[in-house]
């Protein structure tokens, strides 16, 4: 849960730092390196709910997402544009000032002489690490010319932003404090992943169109607050129409279908998973890979405040997501150990492993 106070920074919890921000800190430099490649491809990062630039964790002031994006790409920022959208005036002022200061001060990197580094090469769909010389100590200054700020509602600003990032591989971070607007996601999908007949765009190989990654903060807290039957139907309808682009009746039909499906698969589930599945199914229409980042160690598995959803049509991006998730969850060791003993190693993917672990977790819970 985050709080935004007009004269203060956004406050975060430890788990948010450990998973949401740590995921970005690990994913973004690799994504940047892979996309940039040797030809320095034009690319962009779009943040629809940018916040203030900094956040506080207890008494500590830390980089929020927009500064993480700038810092983690600072060593390779050629041909990269940033679009940060923030509706709240005070937060926007704070964000502009944080970015102005960092443009002047720069990011200091202590440097490293030699070591393993990802250099943007991919083998069998997996980013590879090679022994390469790293950088000497250096300070890098983000380039103001490539940072675009919008003090607007993201649903309005996104149309302009989409024009500016047209044809560029783009990472979209959608991080509202509570309810998100389906309209925002719909604009992105319509613009980048559907054709003029609203059919899924296919590339020359007949595959779903690549170059769009979404990382979404999906608030279960907003849903559990607003779905309550103590509110009249009209209010609930407005809420679901806004967050899912579906009315209450459609939501109820989908809830029923998903519940039946889970039951037929003898799957044990919590209520939030039904709502999450409806949302993820909508995204699956135009993304081949849609997954929830597992945040381990949260107080309540039944009632997580939010879930983080990742979507891509690119195999390297998917593999990158899975391997970083495994590291964050300390699952990688378990996966590799189990892979050693299974018979069909090729088919034993990280996704399979996650399913097995999830099954065990629910069984433990049940017993």
Minimum Å gap between C-beta 137 and ligand SAM is 27
Q: Which residue of this chain has its Cβ atom nearest to ligand SAM in the complex? A: 64
Stretch that binds ligand SAM, among 79-87, 189-197, 201-209, 320-328 (CB under 6 A): 79-87
Site string for ligand SAM, 90-109 (x = CB under 6 A): -x------------------
Encoded tokens for 57: 């964790």
Helix ranges (DSSP H) in 106-153: none
Question: Which residues from 14-73 bind ligand SAM, rule CB under 6 A?
Answer: 48-51, 55, 64-65
Q: Does 153 bind ligand SAM (CB under 6 A)?
A: yes
Q: Which of 71, 81, 86, 294 binds ligand SAM (CB under 6 A)?
A: 86
Q: What is the dihedral of CA 22, 23, 28, 29, to 10 degrees?
A: 60
Minimum Å gap between C-beta 108 and ligand SAM is 21
Q: Does 4 bind ligand SAM (CB under 6 A)?
A: yes
Query: How many residues in the shown chain lie near ligand SAM by CB under 6 A?
Result: 20
- Pairwise CA distance, residues 280 & 257, whole Å: 14
Question: Which residues from 271-300 bind ligand SAM, rule CB under 6 A?
Answer: none
- Beta carbons of 220 and 303 less than 8 angstroms apart: yes
- Pairwise CA distance, residues 283 & 309, whole Å: 10
The number of beta carbons lying within 10 Å of the beta carbon of residue 344 is 7
Stretch that binds ligand SAM, among 162-170, 174-182, 257-265, 349-357 (CB under 6 A): 174-182
Picking from 201, 199, 204, 240, the residue whose alpha carbon sits closest to that of residue 223 is 240
Q: Does 176 bind ligand SAM (CB under 6 A)?
A: yes
Helix ranges (DSSP H) in the chain: 14-15, 22-36, 65-73, 89-105, 154-164, 182-192, 220-226, 233-244, 248-264, 271-284, 315-328, 332-341, 350-366
Between 91 and 323, name the residue whose CB sits nearer to ligand SAM.
91
Stretch that binds ligand SAM, among 29-37, 105-113, 170-178, 232-240 (CB under 6 A): 170-178
- Pairwise CA distance, residues 168 & 81, whole Å: 10
Between 103 and 149, name the residue whose CB sits nearer to ligand SAM.
149
- Beta carbons of 171 and 215 less than 8 angstroms apart: yes
Minimum Å gap between C-beta 57 and ligand SAM is 11
Q: Which of 35, 44, 154, 162 binds ligand SAM (CB under 6 A)?
A: 154
Minimum Å gap between C-beta 74 and ligand SAM is 17
Listed in sequence order, the residues at least 6 apart from 163 whose beta carbon sits closer than 8 Å to its beta carbon are none
- Residues lying near ligand SAM in the complex (CB under 6 A) are found at 2, 4, 10, 48-51, 55, 64-65, 85-88, 91, 153-154, 175-177
């Amino acid at each position: 849960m985050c709080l935004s106070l007009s004269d203060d920074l956004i406050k975060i919890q430890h788990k948010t730092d450990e998973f949401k921000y740590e995921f970005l800190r690990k994913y973004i430099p690799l994504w940047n390196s892979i996309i940039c490649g040797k030809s320095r491809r034009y690319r962009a990062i779009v943040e629809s709910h940018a916040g203030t630039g900094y956040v506080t964790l207890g008494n500590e002031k830390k980089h929020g997402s927009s500064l993480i994006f700038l810092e983690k790409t600072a060593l390779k920022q050629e041909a990269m544009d940033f679009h940060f959208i923030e509706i709240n005036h005070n937060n926007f002022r704070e964000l502009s000032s944080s970015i102005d200061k960092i443009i002047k001060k720069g990011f200091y990197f202590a440097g490293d002489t030699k070591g393993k580094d990802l250099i943007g090469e991919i083998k069998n769909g997996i980013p590879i690490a090679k022994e390469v010389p790293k950088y000497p100590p250096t300070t890098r200054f983000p380039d103001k010319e490539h940072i675009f700020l919008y003090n607007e509602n993201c649903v309005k600003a996104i149309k302009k932003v989409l024009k500016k990032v047209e044809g560029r591989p783009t990472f979209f971070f959608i991080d509202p404090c509570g309810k998100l607007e389906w309209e925002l996601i719909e604009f992105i999908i319509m613009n980048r992943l559907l054709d003029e007949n609203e059919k899924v765009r296919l590339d020359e190989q007949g595959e779903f169109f690549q170059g769009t990654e979404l990382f979404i903060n999906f608030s279960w807290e907003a849903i559990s607050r607003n779905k309550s039957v103590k509110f009249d139907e009209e209010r609930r309808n407005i809420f679901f129409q806004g967050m899912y682009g579906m009315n209450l009746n459609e939501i109820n039909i989908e809830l029923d279908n998903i519940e039946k499906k889970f039951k037929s698969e003898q799957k044990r589930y919590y209520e939030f998973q039904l709502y999450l599945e409806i949302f993820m199914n909508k995204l699956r229409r135009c993304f081949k890979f849609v997954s929830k980042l597992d945040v381990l160690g949260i107080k309540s598995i039944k009632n997580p405040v939010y879930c983080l959803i990742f979507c891509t049509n690119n195999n390297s991006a998917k593999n990158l997501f899975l391997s970083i998730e495994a590291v964050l969850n300390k699952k990688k060791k378990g996966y590799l150990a189990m892979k050693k003993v299974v018979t069909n190693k090729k088919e034993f993917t990280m996704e399979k492993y996650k399913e097995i672990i999830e099954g065990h977790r629910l069984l433990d819970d049940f017993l």
